[in-house]
Amino acid sequence: MSSQDIPEENLPAEQESAAGEVADERNPFADPGLPPHEPRIQDIDERAAKRSERTVALLFTLSMLAAVGFIASYLAIPVDKSIYVFPLGHVSALNFALGLTLGVALFAIGAGAVHWARTLMSDVEVADERHPIEASPEVKAKVMADFRQGAKESAIGRRKLIRTTMFGALTVVPLSSLFLLGGLGPKPGTKLRHTAWRNGKLLVNMNTNQPMRPSDVAVGSLTFAKPEGLEEHDEEFQNEIAKAALMLVRLEPVDIKDKKELEWSHEGIVAYSKICTHVGCPISLYEQQTHHVLCPCHQSTFDLSDGARVIFGPAGHALPQLRIGVNADGYLEALGDFEEPVGPAFWERG
Amino acid sequence: MSTNPSNESGARREPPAGERVADWADGRLGIYSLAKANMRKIFPDHWSFMLGEVCMYSFIIIILTGVYLTLFFHPSMNEVVYDGSYVPLQGQLMSEAFNSTMHISFEVRGGLLIRQIHHWAALIFLAGMFVHMMRVFFTGAFRKPREVNWLFGFLLFVLGMFTGFTGYSLPDDLLSGTGVRFMEGAILSVPIVGTYISMFLYGGEFPGHDFVARFYSIHILLLPGIMLGLMVAHLILVFYHKHTQFAGPGKTNNNVVGMPLLPVYMAKAGGFFFLVFGVIAAIAAIASINPIWGIGPYRADQVSTGAQPDWYMGFAEGLIRVMPGWEINLWGHTLVLGVFIPLVIFPLVLAAIAVYPFIESWVTGDKREHHILDRPRNAPTRTAFGVAWLTAYLVMLVGGGNDLWATHFHLSINAITWFVRITFFVGPVLAFIITKRICLGLQRRDRDKVLHGRESGIIKRLPHGEFIEVHEPLSQEQLHTLTAHEQYQPAEIGPLVDENGVERKLKGSQKLRAKLSTAYFGEENQIPKPTAEEYKEITSGHGHH
């Protein structure tokens, strides 16, 4: 959009009056020009100037002393020494000493330089002329003529075949680099749909690393579990636990409002995915009176007595439940994998 | 030189060593021409012009300390057992990234200090850019010819956010890992390609074995490389355009008034680098930041409460926290609006401030160069827009820390969430209206001051008993400064019918522009500055006020 449709008179007048123009009798607001320079005490009193000089020199000396202190601290203070500093509490002695000496060493250089500039260097204000950024019409005409000449000599406008194929090549060749990026990772496939849980896998207590009997899950407690066979040292432990992490709570069966939840539970013990359905934080706060669990990241809250539906926060759907039972030896086991993907929702989730 | 025969007679005195070095360099680099233009270059003085310097210096500090940290950091996710000197974590499994960060913090002498300087400088860099950007915005320094430099600065801010995010994710601790997981969840919400992007970014499923190494090259090479280029371009343009200045006696749109680079700004700006570095070093000595030993290594099934990103990501965090959990399931697909909408609003809010200069220049239709800064009150609509934008940003920062607000001030998280949801929409509107009223009030005050003088605080009793306050007339300098700003007239759309009574065809954009122009410069939207006639009429009167 050009400015053509705005009449010139609607634009404010060009800034009038260059610096130093004599005040106009008819214009009380005219620019009086740069005010005269007012000397500082250092400009007229050599003793004051000497004082400033000493102050600057003192600051530079302080910087040197602090730097020596830095080196001394580096050499002398043991790296694991802890000291009590009010009001910080116990801090690393080395870090504290190095930081403060370095801080003073640097700050004093800066303070000295600035004090020097402010008190001893000339503070007479000077005006520089500005020049328009735009080129003059003559320069522009010359550039345009040169460009046309160059374009004409290349014959890019006349030999269309060359132009078209060149642009074609420059477009197609970069496409090949896109394919290199394809190696960055595997295709999603159904990876996000499956976890390490299988029918018959025992529920192993995350803390004790032992399989659990129903009697190990007390009313009102929150227990975290992993599938049997998944060990911390496994190569893929992080990837597997990121999906398989499970939380167990025991409710009174009469408190369970959701019919499917009751069916999939065992003696009131229900097992839900620990991974929040919002953006995947592990849920870790349990309010035993209300049977609510809360994700500490974004405060999504789920009601474990009602199919883990969302009762507050930004999560979009309920936590997936794992169907559990007990095996012949009386240990809690999974009766299959989660029936829906755990964790955050995604396009293919459906 | 001795081979030059013409030199023999005049070469009794050898030039000093420094001059000979400069001569050598000039013959190869042309430094004298460069110095002629720049050595005594004039820089105007104002405290707010230091904000950009804070950014530049903290960026340099980040690069210096960052290079040091790379000497010790191992960007690897291989699991190792900790056997370092920090007893509580001994025997724990952790990635090499976390292990080497522990090593930097506990065994490398001065390593903790450099780590803390690096992190503190990053926080200050981002805060500095934010405040610097606001300074440029509210004074209208983004106007022609500086629009491109505004965009460079904006890009620096955005890239700085992502460099910060990839940086604090590197130690692979429980807090930052939670942030990386959050990023995965956000990426998964992208329709159609979300799962692919996630798999490609993490080299498979989250967390995989690759993201630390990938974030490392992004954090230490790709993004800082681009940022360094942008910063150099930013500075070249600052030099080329010359600095802006506030209106004042002797200061016009065609000059720049201040003190020369050599010696004053060399000393002041050079010294300021040391001041910034010194303050950051002292902060790093007394204030611990990101104490990963207290947070522990990342485990995908663990989390701590009160998890917060670094401050500059808090605004995005707020969007994701207060958004209702909308999900639409259709034809076997899921549209995760509860996460995807915040993901889209995040860049849109940033873009709103980035494109503002182009909107304003379209509304004013002004194609001239502007080197005199506006006082915020003299551009009420722009100032109001800026404050409205800030309000939205700050409200979302509150949203991002909703759990901390709840625990520290004993508030209901439900109430905070609803407060943020409503205030995100209502707050900016209120802020806009209030700011505009304040600006207009201040304009009226300036107008009064020019026409009636300064309130002196002296009460005078007139012979007939009336009490008046004596107003002192302003100096010519003050009169000029208070009336130097330009005022636009609203763009008129012209008659809706032409001289033959036929309706003129007006494009929608023309109508919109006329409306916006009225909103900017219409009768109610700026206070006309006093004219010379008004001033003379009042001052030539006989002692009334």
Q: Please give the domain boundaries of chain B with CATH numbers for all domains.
A: 5-38 (no CATH), 42-307 (1.20.810.10), 439-494+510-539 (no CATH)
State the pLDDT at residue B333. Answer: 92
Burial of A193 (0-12, 13-18, 19+ CB in 10 A): middle
CA distance A170 to chain B (A): 23
Taking 60 as the threshold, does the pLDDT of residue A18 lie above it? Answer: no
Tokens of B27: 């013959």
Question: Is there a contact between B273 and A127 if contact means CB atoms under 8 Å apart?
Answer: no
The residue-averaged pLDDT of B60-74 equals 97
Enumerate the residues of chain B whose CB falls inside 8 A of the CB of residue A111.
271, 275
Q: How confident is the model at residue B2 (pLDDT cuts 50, 70, 90)?
A: very low
Question: Is there a contact between A3 and B367 if contact means CB atoms under 8 Å apart?
Answer: yes
- In sequence order, what DSSP letters do the residues of B139-184 get, joined into one string? TTTTSTT-HHHHHHHHHHHHHHHHHHHHHHHTT-BHHHHHHHHHHH
Token look-up 């000599």 returns A153
Enumerate the residues of chain B whose CB falls inside 8 A of the CB of residue A188.
195-196, 198-199
Listing from the earlier edge strand, what are the strands of the sheet with A324-326? Answer: A321-322, A269-273, A246-250, A222-227, A199-205, A332-335, A324-326
Please report, for residues A196, A240, B237, the alpha-carbon distance to residue A322 in angstroms, rounded to integers and kept in the order given: 12, 16, 61
Q: What angle is formed at CA B401 by the lines to CA B395 and CA B402, rounded to 5 degrees? A: 85
Q: Does residue B145 have a cis peptide bond before it, meaning omega lies within 30 degrees of 0?
A: yes
The residue-averaged pLDDT of B337-366 equals 94
Q: What pTM does this model have? A: 0.92
Question: Is there a contact between B257 and A34 if contact means CB atoms under 8 Å apart?
Answer: yes
E strand or H helix that includes residue B407: helix B402-409
State the pLDDT at residue A20. Answer: 40
**Measured distance CA(B118)–CA(B74) in Å, rounded:** 17
CA distance A222 to chain B (A): 14
> In this predicted model, what pLDDT tens digit does every residue of B479-518 receive, in sequence order?
999 999 999 988 877 777 777 778 777 788 888 998 899 8
Architecture of the domain delimited by A194-335: 3-layer Sandwich (2.102)
Enumerate the residues of chain B whose CB falls inside 8 A of the CB of residue A311.
none
State the pLDDT at residue A6. Answer: 52
β-bridge mates for residue A219, sequence order? A250
Q: What is chain A's percent helix, strand, coil content, to nearest 5?
A: 35, 20, 45
**Measured distance CA(B375)–CA(B244) in Å, rounded:** 13
- For B136-139, the CB contacts below 8 A with 24+ separation are B137/B353, B137/B356, B137/B382, B137/B386, B138/B376, B138/B382, B138/B383, B138/B386, B139/B48, B139/B244, B139/B246, B139/B373, B139/B374, B139/B375, B139/B376
Higher pLDDT, B151 or A21: B151
- Extended beta strands in chain A, E state: 82-85, 89-92, 126-129, 199-205, 222-227, 246-250, 269-273, 285-287, 292-294, 301-303, 309-312, 321-322, 324-326, 332-335
> In this predicted model, what pLDDT tens digit does every residue of B428-459 receive, in sequence order?
999 999 999 999 999 999 999 999 999 889 99
Q: Which of A17, A84, A131, A298 to mutate to test the interface with B (most CBs of B within 10 A)?
A: A298
Enumerate the residues of chain A whose CB falls inside 8 A of the CB of residue B251.
19, 127
Burial of B197 (0-12, 13-18, 19+ CB in 10 A): middle
> In this predicted model, what pLDDT tens digit does every residue of B131-141 receive, in sequence order?
999 999 999 99
Token look-up 């330089």 returns A113
> In this predicted model, what pLDDT tens digit does every residue of A194-240 receive, in sequence order?
999 999 999 999 999 999 999 999 888 899 999 999 999 898 999 99
Residue of A10, A243, A297 lying closest to B489 (CB–CB): A10
ipTM of the complex: 0.90
Enumerate the residues of chain A whose CB falls inside 8 A of the CB of residue B182.
279-281, 297
CA dihedral A206, A211, A216, A220 (to 10 degrees): 40
Question: Is there a contact between B368 and A14 if contact means CB atoms under 8 Å apart?
Answer: yes
Taking CA–CA distances from A32, the nearest residue in chain B reads B249
Question: Is there a contact between A12 and B487 if contact means CB atoms under 8 Å apart?
Answer: yes
β-bridge mates for residue A294, sequence order? A285, A301
Of B357, B281, B89, B308, nearest to A103 by C-alpha is B281
- Extended beta strands in A105-242, E state: 126-129, 199-205, 222-227
The residue-averaged pLDDT of A169-181 equals 91
E strand or H helix that includes residue B63: helix B50-70
**Measured distance CA(A100)–CA(A66) in Å, rounded:** 9
Of B99, B98, B295, B86, nearest to A92 by C-alpha is B86
Taking CA–CA distances from B191, the nearest residue in chain A reads A347
Q: How confident is the model at residue A98 (pLDDT cuts 50, 70, 90)?
A: very high
Burial of B18 (0-12, 13-18, 19+ CB in 10 A): exposed
Of B96, B88, B95, nearest to B72 by C-alpha is B96
Enumerate the residues of chain B whose CB falls inside 8 A of the CB of residue A9.
489
Enumerate the residues of chain A whose CB falls inside 8 A of the CB of residue B362.
1
State the pLDDT at residue B353. Answer: 94
Q: What are phi and psi of A61, to 5 degrees?
A: -65, -40
> In this predicted model, what pLDDT tens digit does every residue of B400-419 receive, in sequence order?
999 899 999 999 989 999 99
Domains of chain A by residue range: 41-119, 194-335
Taking CA–CA distances from B320, the nearest residue in chain A reads A314
Pairing relationship of beta strands A321-322 and A269-273 according to DSSP bridges: antiparallel
State the pLDDT at residue A24. Answer: 55
Residue of A109, A128, A242 lying closest to B207 (CB–CB): A242
